[in-house]
Structure 1
Amino acid sequence: MEDLPPLLVVEILSRLTDSADLARCRLVSKTLNSLSHEVRSVNLLCTLSRYLKSRSPETKAHVTPFKAIFNNLVRQARCLNSITIGVDKSLRDISYDDVDDESDDLYLTDVGFVKEWLPKVCGDLRKLSILDFLIQSCWRKSEVLSLISSCCNGLMELELKNAWLSVDRLKPMTGVTNLKLEFIKLEDEDLTKLNDCFPSLRVLNLVGVGGLKDPKIHLLHLESCLWTVSNAPLSLTIFAPNLVKLRLKCIKPKSLVLDTPLLSDLHLSVEEAYNFRAKEFCNLENLQLESSSLHSLLGMFPSSKSIKTLTVDSLRWTEALETSKFGLEALFDVFPNVMSLNLGPGAWSEAESCFWKRGLEDRNAMKELKEIVAHLVVYDIEVTLSFIYSILDKCPNLSDMALLHPKEDSGAANSLISRCTTYRPRVKWRWGTWKEGSKDT
């Protein structure tokens, strides 16, 4: 490797997915040691194996502290533009009972630790990820955001995970366009400060951010947002006039307000929405809805003629079949121009239950439908077949239908295949299986 051109060696070293290998390369030769200081990225994660060795009485004396390895990697770096430091996902299974609460060897958002290295490398830094060890960080409030905002004037992407963050003395970071916060503890006023200090955000991911009661996102340039709300806020508001893609998962907000006129791709998962308000979605083309109360949610959803691809599912369908009010007609009343429809197992079961009670009413909008993917749950094969036949009769332009059955229900599937192809041979039939929590096959 030493015979390769220096620029190529630096390129190879910069592409190492685990910078622990970079530390090992420095020990091989003086040439590699020298060139390693030219790398543009450092990516160092503490593995479960290293963690366990650092705790074992037999091996801990021979394990170099994780923070020391990282400091050594970045201390003499000349042009770092990307840094990732954190703990591996495998450490998520570590129990609080297995850890000394006073330990801070993996407390990575510790301001004292970050001060040791960030001011030395911040000049060229464009991307920074700190993935903390939740057991050591969740009870310590960190002001690392203030430090980052003071040092990193050229930062464009910031990711922080598993921490309790303070926004005290946080300065505006107008260059940051991509912000990811995962399993972070904040408060409503903290989120307001983030709105003010990250005005240029185009991508925002908030996953499991707790402590919020009435959270509001107000970002004028935001284009893509993933927001998974871990608690049950009283209200939830998004004002983002340029938002194009939104994936939102929450529990039972008392109020849900979306002011996102340019939205074209929406995935909304909500147990119940007591007061859902949204302006008309004139550009929405792809919609995924998951709810414990689909009928109620559809009743509050603004009618949209632009939606072509629709996916729906029920979150608690096994408990609600007897009282289900969700029928396919409701979908076409709200989304009359749907061309491709994907029904999850919960939505299919509820719709089939409604069909069995009152049949399937004719709707002109159903004539636009060309494709259906149905995740079947067969309780009575004759009822399921009657429902399928009725859909075929009410949707004359339907040309493609995929019937996916549970893997353990192959007997009913064989009968369905034969009878459906006989009933409507001109339809392109597709068959497969589904299993909860996995992709269709």
Structure 2
Amino acid sequence: MEELPPSLIVDILSRLPDSAELARCRLVSKTFKSLSYEVRSVRLLCTLSRYLKSRAPETIPPVTPFKTVLNTLVCDSRSLESVSIRVDKSLGTLSNDDVEDESDDLYLTDVRFVKDWLPRVAGRLRSLSVSDFWVQSCWRKSEVLSLISSCCHSLLELEVKNAWLSVDGLNAMPTLTSLTLEFIRLDDEDLNKVNNFFPCLKVLNLIGVGGLKEPKIHLLHLNTCHWTVSNAPLSLAIFAPNLVNLTLKCVKPRSLVLETPSLSDFHLTLEEANEFKVKGFPHLKNLLLQSVDLCSLIRMFPSGRTIKKLTMDSPHLKMTGFCLETVFDVFPNLSYLNLGIRAWMQAEGYFVTRCMEGRTGMKVLKEIVAHMGTVSEDVTLSFIFSILDNCTNLSDMALMTYPQIGFLTASDLVSRCRAAYPRVTWKWKMLKEGTEDVWVSDGI
């Protein structure tokens, strides 16, 4: 390997999943030792095994403290552009009796610790990721954002997880284009400062950010946003004229205001919203909806004529009058429809009591994916046949069945569908618990 070009060796060393291995590489040869100081990326992970060994009195030799390892690597490196330090999720399984709450050896957003190494590499740094140990960080408010913003003037991507953050002393970061905050404690005024001090964000991920009551995102350059709200705020608002991709998961806000005219892909998980305000989605093409009351939610869309692909499901089964006719009333130009297991059951249940009334939009549909958890064969067949009779241009139908249906029942269902509608390309997947989807049969 020493015969490889130095630039290629550096690239390989920079891609090590755990940079702690650099220490071993330095023992291989003088060439490796010299080139290891030129790595562009450092990634350190504290695993559960490492954590337990560091606390076991019988461990000989003693485990080098995690923070010391990072300091050594950063001090030695001359070309760092990316730093990632994190505590493995497996440590979250520890009980309180197994954790020393007062310790700070894995408190990674500790400003005193970050001050020891960050200023040395801040000038070149393009990406920074810190995933803290929640047990040690949740009760300590960190001002690490202020430190990062004061010295990382070329930072493009920032990710912080599992911490209580302060925005006091925050400086503007006009170069930052991607920000991820996951399981972070913030207040409404803190989120307002994120809007003001990170004005050029194109990617924003807020996953499980707690403490917000009436949060607002107002970013002119935002292109992609993933927002998972862990609590039940009074209202949610997004003002982003250039937003194209939005994934929004929330419980039951009093109101939801979206001013996102460029939106093309929208994934919305919402229990219910008393007030759903939009100024229209003139470019929306792909929509995913998850809600207890799908029927009410889809009616909140002012116009669904631009939407070509629709995926729908419910977190649990609740018969609310959801039917395919309503879907095509609101979204008359669908070419693709994916119904999750509970959405399919609701639609089939409505069909049993009312049958199906045709809609003009049904003739546009090309493809259906149906997830089936139960099968009453005659009823299910009648429902499928009614869909195909109305969707005259349908060319592809995928039936996703689950183990509780039984292989023979599912096989017989598909065989009867193929015999009745040979014009359709049928696909059948048997979904097995704990594994990827398995194609059992494909084609006709």
TM-score bin, normalised by smaller chain: over 0.9
Q: One-letter code of the match for 1:64?
A: T
* Correspondence for 1:401: 397
1:92 match: 92
Structure 2: which amino acid aligns with 1:427?
A: V
1:427 aligns with 2:408: no
> Residues 304-335 of structure 1: CA distance to partner in whole angstroms, max 9, x if unpaired?
21111110111121xx23xx210001111111
* In structure 2, C-alpha distance between the alignment counterparts of 1:307 and 1:157, rounded to whole Å: 32
Residue identity opposite 1:145 in structure 2: L
> Hey, what does 2:411 align to over in structure 1?
414
Matched residues in 2 for 1:196 and 1:220: separation? Answer: 11
SS in 2 for 1:35: helix
Q: How far does residue 272 in structure 1 lie from its aligned partner after superposition?
A: 1.6
Output the CA distance in 2 between the equivalents of 1:130 and 1:271: 32
Is residue 179 of structure 1 aligned with residue 179 of structure 2? yes
Aligned residue type for 1:353? G
Give me the whole-angstrom Cα distance separating, in 2, the residues matched to 1:214 and 1:436.
39
Counterpart Cα distance in 1 of 2:184 and 2:76: 31
Question: 2:354 is matched with which residue: 354, 358, 361?
Answer: 358
- In structure 1, the partner of 2:54 is 54
CA distance in 1, matches of 2:425, 2:358: 23
State the Cα distance separating 1:92 from its structure 2 match.
2.4
Once the two structures are superposed, residues 348-398 of structure 1 have per-residue CA deviations (whole angstroms, 9 ceiling, x without a partner) of 000011111111111111110111110113352211111111111111111
Q: Which residue identity does 2:361 align to in structure 1?
A: A
User: CA shift at 1:415, angstroms?
Assistant: 2.4
Does structure 1 retain, via aligned residues, the 8 Å contact 2:295–2:322?
yes
- Aligned counterpart in structure 2 of residue 335 of structure 1, from 319, 331, 335: 331
CA-CA distance at 1:14 after TM superposition: 1.7
Residues 102 and 362 of structure 1, relative CA distance in 2, 3 Å threshold: same
Mind listing any 5+ residue stretches in structure 2 that lack a counterpart?
A: 439-444
Judged with a 3 Å threshold, the aligned counterparts in structure 2 of structure 1 residues 23 and 393 are, in CA distance, closer, same or farther, namely: same
Partner SS, residue 404 of structure 2: coil
Give the Å deviation of 1:23.
2.1
Cα drift, residue 3 of structure 1: 4.7
Cα deviations by residue, 1:231-278 (Å, 9 ceiling, x for unpaired): 111111111100000111111111111111011001111112221121
**8 Å contact 2:373–2:404 — kept in the other structure?**
no
Kindly report which structure 2 residues correspond to 1:374-393, keeping only aligned pairs within 5 A, or say none. 374-393=370-389
Matched, 1:368 2:364: yes
After superposition, the Cα gap between the structure-2 partners of 1:377 and 1:9, relative to the gap in structure 1 and judged at 3 Å, is closer
List alignment gaps of at least 5 residues for structure 1: none
Against the structure 1 CA distance between its residues 297 and 439, is the aligned structure 2 distance closer, same or farther, given a 3 Å change threshold? farther
Write the distance in 1 (CA, Å) between the matches of 2:314 and 2:5: 59
- Closer, same or farther in 2 for the Cα pair 1:75/1:133, shift >3 Å? same
C-alpha distance in 2 between matches for 1:5 and 1:354: 67
Amino acid at match of 1:341: L
Query: Where does residue 127 of structure 1 map in the other structure?
Result: 127
Query: How far is the alpha carbon of 1:439 from its aligned partner?
Result: 4.8
How far has the Cα of 1:413 moved from its partner?
Answer: 1.1
CA distance in 2 between counterparts of 1:164 and 1:207 reads 14
Tell me how far apart the structure 1 counterparts of residues 436 and 195 of structure 2 sit (CA, whole Å): 36
- Give the structure-2-normalised TM-score: 0.95
In structure 1, how many angstroms separate the alpha carbons of the residues matched to 2:245 and 2:176? 19
Indicate the larger mover: 111-120 or 97-106.
97-106
Measured on the aligned residues, the alpha-carbon RMSD in Å equals 1.5
